[in-house]
Amino acid sequence: MAFSDISKEKVPADARSVSDESDSTNEEGWEDVEPEDDSQPVVDLFSEIVYPDVRSMLQVCKDKHNFDLLKIQKELELDFLDSIKLVNYVRSQVKAGNKSPDVSSKAQFEDDAYLKPVLEDDALLYSLDDIAEEQDEDKAPGNDSDRRVVELQEELERLQTQFSEYRIAVQQSLEDQLTQEDEKLQPEAPEKKSTDKTEEVDADYFSSYSYNTIHESMLKDTIRTDAYRDFVYENKHLFKDKVVLDVGCGTGILSMFCAKAGAKKVISVDNSNIIDRAKEIVYDNGLGDVITCIRGKIEEVTLPVEKVDIIISEWMGYGLLFEAMFDSVIYARDRYLASDGLMVPSHATLRVAPFADPDFIASHISFWHNVYGFKMNSMLLNIYEEALVRTVQPTTIPGDSNIFLPLPLHTITVEELNFIKEFKFTLNEDIDALDGFAIWFDIFFMPSRQSPVPEDPIPSEMQKKGIVSFTTGPHGTETHWMQTILLIDHGKEQPKPLKKGQTFTGKVGYQRKQNGYRGLDITVDWNGGRMLQVTNNGHFSK
């Protein structure tokens, strides 16, 4: 996920922006700086603002961001190299978009990679011992000049030694990284290489859920969040005095719904750093006696109970199954759910429909033929091999959708998630060309595992019957999942006009790239041709 750049902040009187650093004509706010002051300008830890000295910068960090560097050094008993790691860790986190880095323990920044400066010639790194020394001086009575000279000489010798150690540590860290890169180039057994790649993808996946943006997007998706809330609150009798497991709890919103509905115990599991925020949120809302937050993969953690009555999870990815989180939910179901337990949600359906939108093709494909008068046809390479995540209008769907996979969550297996299923649809209007296919899913919350859903359930009709459900299709309110669009390569086969009433049959397949991998290959065969859509090693293009 992309993060926006660090936003510019309003510059206070005693600070200036990096872009204004060379503007010698701007003297405002510098009236108190003495010419003989040898203090060195330093860049703020949480913005691009440059302060005239370290003390003023750290004071702003303390007042504005509740970040007290000296206090953290003292509480965590940080030595010189630890302090350098801390500064570089904070700068790297802020650069990545996280303005509230976790500094609760030394373990957060113990990696030697943080010895490498984030900023070139970072004045703060050269001032770490100075500020500690100045703090001690402020507290000490009197000031003997001869003693101070001796202390400064000793300090200089100590700094020289420490910076020598620092350079050696940085060099060793770089050498270790180069060694690791060299090892990656060496031939490896296919099984080990596959495992390493899977672990790398897993790490990236869980890391992506550590940041606020993705959770903000999900929480603001009212179609999604309201459905979970409505089902839980409208069925409090199902949750009263029950033990609930929340798989992939994120911020803990679903867990708190369950706790408020009367659950006796809620176990919230997540393998990303967001679990730390979830713990704070739970206690801030007075629910710490009901909700227990656990960090780790559901396949690896040990729960404080043998069985649970309900499993709740928002596991759905793009195209429903991208991310492969549902595998973990199935594991939790088979391992922990009581024989009469309830899955929330309980059912899902995958739908496919024809897609025809000449304007979309013009903007996404034809655009590259003439970009400001230049041909950029090379940009079309593999463009048809990406599954596009877009919101499309109902007018671009010239036929009824067809369910190609129903998912009863209480019984479906992981093996069934690799499949090839048949579909059939009929055009309900004339079109100039069939441009591709649209895929989306519907979600249903049934109050018991014995409650069946119709063969072709429509969320709007189910809601009329009091069943909580929602669709991610183009005929419903937009969700953050949008629709998955698979385009036909008209360059290989010229499009043909099609008539209302014309019927298409075919097969759609979801295939995992390899065991444990989170990517998908989606294939569509139909009686008008063949199309292969590859998600670019697990990437859905947005």
Q: How many CB atoms lie under 10 A from the CB of residue 204? A: 11
Q: How far apart, in whole angstroms, are the C-alpha atoms of residue 342 and residue 326?
A: 16
**Distance between CA atoms of 267 and 292, rounded to whole angstroms?**
5
**CA-CA distances (angstroms) from residue 204 to 199, 200, 207?**
9, 6, 5
> Which parts of 115-161 are beta strand (E)?
none
DSSP secondary structure of 277-334: HHHHHHHHTT-TTTEEEEES-TTT---SSS-EEEEE----BTTBTTT-HHHHHHHHHH
Q: Determine the longest span between alpha carbons in the chain, in angstroms.
A: 99
Per the CB < 8 A criterion, the answer to whether 272 and 207 are in contact is yes
> Could you give the angle at which helices 222-234 and 212-219 cross, rounded to 10 degrees?
60
Collapsing DSSP to helix, strand or coil, 451 comes out as coil
Give the torsion through C-alpha atoms of 178, 182, 184, 188, to 10 deg. Answer: -150
> Strand ranges (DSSP E) for 32-141?
42-43, 49-51
314 is catalytic: yes
If you search the block for the tokens 């897993």, which residue do you land on?
Answer: 202
Q: Of 369, 412, 432, 232, whose CA–CA distance to 314 is shortest?
A: 232
Radius of gyration of the chain (CA): 29
Residue 200 annotated to the active site: no
**Distance separating alpha carbons of residues 267 and 312, to the nearest angstrom:** 10
- Indicate the length of the chain as a whole number: 542
**Which residues pair with residue 421 across a beta bridge?**
508
b/e sequence 84-100, b meaning 16+ C-beta within 10 Å: bbbbbbbbbbbeeebbe
Q: Which of 34, 216, 323, 461 is catalytic?
A: 323
Asked if 342 and 333 count as a contact pair (C-beta separation under 8 A), the reply is no
> Pick from 102, 126, 103: which is nearest to 41 by CA?
126
**3-state class of 24 per DSSP?**
coil
Q: Which phi and psi (to 5°) does residue 419 adopt?
A: -155, 165
Q: Single out the catalytic residue among 34, 199, 306, 314.
A: 314
The rounded distance, in Å, linking the Cα atoms of 217 and 225 is 11
Q: Which residues pair with 469 in a beta bridge?
A: 444
Position 422: which residue type? E
Q: Closest by alpha carbon to 258, among 338, 312, 333, 294?
A: 312
Q: How far is CA 349 from CA 68, 225, 231, 345, in A?
A: 52, 19, 18, 12
Residues noted as catalytic: 314, 323
